[in-house]
A and B are shown apart, each in its own frame.
Chain A
Amino acid sequence: MAKRSIVPFGPQHPVLPEPVHLDLVLEDETVVQAVPSIGYIHRGLEKLVEKRDFKQYTYIAERICGICSCGHGLGYCMAVEKVMGIEVPERANYLRAIWVEMSRIHSHLLWLGLLADAMGFESLFMESWRLREKILDMFDETAGGRIIHSVNQVGGVQKDMDASMLNHLLEAVNDIESDIKPVVNTFLQDYTVQSRLKGAGVLKKEDAVTLGAVGPMLRASGVEYDVRMLGYGAYKDLTVEPITSTDGDCYGRCEVRLKELFQSFDLIREAVGKIPSGDINVPVKGNPSGEYFMRIEQPRGEAIYYVKGNGTKYLDRFRLRTPTTSNIPPMVEILKGCQLADVPILILTIDPCVSCTER
């Protein structure tokens, strides 16, 4: 047996966008075990729900993480609405769906850029982020902020999109769709990219289910599961087919995310076509009393929001189970047996979001 050594990886590492620490147990260059530890960015945001009223907390929920901000605000608001028995107007549901799909596009393009950067493919990284800029500009125009959108509120949405904004959005989506083709071709067909991604970090279908993988990580292993199929909000009227891949390796996860981009383009077009007119929010009277589990599909996978109200304006408990939390056990599994040089790519393909995980 070769001599074992331990290499610390992170929390500060060029490839990691956020701080997570891994102790990699190596035999020569092969990883035999990975021990993750988190706790570098804990901010106590769940506890803060006891100090801020439930309407204020929407803004704090949005700030749990920059990339998933739209989804966190939405998940929290939907959970509180279910507790209070509020029916959100249909137009608000469609606007929420449009914004969430836009944030999925921006999150996936960000991830594609980071993946390219982790491989050292600088031009592909720049190209992905150049495309992402268009979606961020649309967020700026429609919501008033590029990253933190502050559009959700308990009872609906704060801002409406008029016809010219929706047209701009469609133009931006069409632009991105036509510009993204060389990027997609490079990720899926380029020999160099394939040599880094194919066969790396294979997660078998049964392992993915047993270890509780979610989102693109789960779907890349061939499991047809997407929370949007439950039909929450506007998704009951929109066509959502889970996108899967059978490979279960890094290439499969990359393929799933690329195809989800096109799915999001289609969903935005469908939602813009079907959007009804009417109110965008309903007045909220009283305080939440009761509890509810809300599940939504974030760009990184299924997120669970639990709220418990006690009849006052301060909630008793807010709990968030983020996709990255569930994806850490499968990540530890795929790291076993890989080469040290592949570790950055394997960690990136779960699309880690440590800010969400630690809150």
Chain B
Amino acid sequence: MKKTRMFTFAGRVLKNLFKKPATTQYPFEPAQYPERMRGHIRIEIENCISCGLCMRSCPSQAIRVDRKAGTWTIERFDCVQCGFCVAACPKKCLFMEKGYTEPDILKKSETFTKPKEEKKEAAATAGGKPAVDTEKCVYCTLCAKKCPQEALHVDRKEKIWELDEEKCVECGICAGACPKKAIELKG
């Protein structure tokens, strides 16, 4: 059982002498990131409707959304790259990108502001609480199923269509989902 083993790693030593290092010589060599890497969050601010779902979903409270000013702010140092905001975004304007943000000596945040000229266009797709046209509505419940906030309550038998105004974030997904175009967004 007891035996002295010598030069066990001699082979490895020789290999290491003639092979490239096992690690990448970053930053002299650019790092290769895999496709799925969770590096940082990117926003396409022009599509953002400031619904605030990302802010509410963020476990580390790194995102701030100001609806009135039309800004979206992320604390890069607080973000833990979990990707929950990306999954929560109803407009799919948040993306998890590969590659890290630059290091810094101070905590810094990045603010994105919605371009003003596009504000009107965004208001056309979203910008107000949904209201239903009861004549057109067939109570199919599709709007309630699609609602990211579960703010709609639709009952087919009782012919009820109710909106919880507190939960509603005015994302306009219900209006887009309605097969009968019975939902209008009113500001």
A positions within 8 Å CB-CB of B: 52, 55-57, 59-60, 63, 123-124, 127, 130, 133, 140-145, 148, 150, 158-159, 182, 185-186, 189-191, 194
A73 to chain B, nearest CB (A): 10
Q: Which residues of B contact A140 (CB under 8 A)?
A: 33-34, 36-37
Bound-state CA distance A130–B35 (Å) is: 23
Bound-state CA distance A159–B87 (Å) is: 12
Stretch at the interface among B77-85, B113-121, B123-131: B77-85
Q: Which residues of A contact B8 (CB under 8 A)?
A: 182, 185-186, 190
B positions within 8 Å CB-CB of A: 1-5, 8-9, 11-12, 22-23, 33-38, 57-59, 80-84, 87, 96
Whether B37 pairs with A144 at a CB distance below 8 angstroms is yes
> Which partner residue on chain A sits nearest B150 by CB separation?
A285
Interface of B is mostly: loop
Specify which of A145, A186, A194 lies most central, judged by the most chain B CB atoms within 10 Å of its CB: A145
Which of A159, A182, A185 contacts B12, CB < 8 Å?
A182
Q: Which residues of A contact B34 (CB under 8 A)?
A: 140-141, 144
Bound-state CA distance A63–B12 (Å) is: 36
A124 to chain B, nearest CB (A): 8
A357 to chain B, nearest CB (A): 22
Which of A124, A133, A186 contacts B22, CB < 8 Å?
A133
Whether B96 pairs with A144 at a CB distance below 8 angstroms is yes
A sample of 19 cross-chain residue pairs with beta-carbon separation below 8 angstroms, ordered by A number, consists of A55-B84, A57-B59, A59-B82, A123-B9, A127-B12, A130-B22, A141-B36, A143-B36, A144-B96, A150-B81, A158-B87, A182-B9, A182-B12, A185-B5, A189-B1, A189-B3, A190-B5, A190-B8, A191-B4
Bound-state CA distance A57–B34 (Å) is: 27
Bound-state CA distance A171–B74 (Å) is: 39
Whether A186 pairs with B5 at a CB distance below 8 angstroms is yes
Whether A60 pairs with B59 at a CB distance below 8 angstroms is yes
B79 to chain A, nearest CB (A): 11
A126 to chain B, nearest CB (A): 9
Bound-state CA distance A194–B5 (Å) is: 12
Specify which of B80, B82, B96 lies most central, judged by the most chain A CB atoms within 10 Å of its CB: B82
Closest 3 CB pairs of A and B: A144-B36, A144-B38, A59-B82
Q: Which residues of B contact A56 (CB under 8 A)?
A: 57-59, 84
Bound-state CA distance A185–B35 (Å) is: 37
Whether B59 pairs with A150 at a CB distance below 8 angstroms is no
Q: Which residues of A contact B38 (CB under 8 A)?
A: 144-145, 150
Whether A127 pairs with B9 at a CB distance below 8 angstroms is yes
New A-B pairs, 6, CB < 8 Å, besides A140-B37, A141-B36: A57-B59, A144-B38, A144-B83, A145-B81, A189-B1, A191-B4
> Which partner residue on chain A sits nearest B38 by CB separation?
A144
> Which partner residue on chain A sits nearest B33 by CB separation?
A140
Which of B2, B22, B58, B96 contacts A194, CB < 8 Å?
B2
Bound-state CA distance A136–B179 (Å) is: 47
Known: A140-B34, A144-B96, A145-B37. A191 touches B2 (CB 8 A): yes
Q: Which residues of A contact B83 (CB under 8 A)?
A: 144, 150, 158
Bound-state CA distance A202–B96 (Å) is: 49
Q: Which residues of A contact B87 (CB under 8 A)?
A: 158
Bound-state CA distance A122–B166 (Å) is: 61
Bound-state CA distance A199–B3 (Å) is: 17
Q: Which residues of A contact B96 (CB under 8 A)?
A: 144
Bound-state CA distance A145–B34 (Å) is: 10
Whether A159 pairs with B36 at a CB distance below 8 angstroms is yes
Bound-state CA distance A182–B10 (Å) is: 11
Whether B59 pairs with A52 at a CB distance below 8 angstroms is yes
Bound-state CA distance A142–B38 (Å) is: 11
> Which partner residue on chain B sits nearest A63 by CB separation?
B80
Bound-state CA distance A145–B23 (Å) is: 17
Q: Which residues of B contact A145 (CB under 8 A)?
A: 37-38, 81
Known: A130-B22, A144-B37, A145-B37. A191 touches B84 (CB 8 A): no
Bound-state CA distance A59–B85 (Å) is: 12
Bound-state CA distance A45–B34 (Å) is: 31
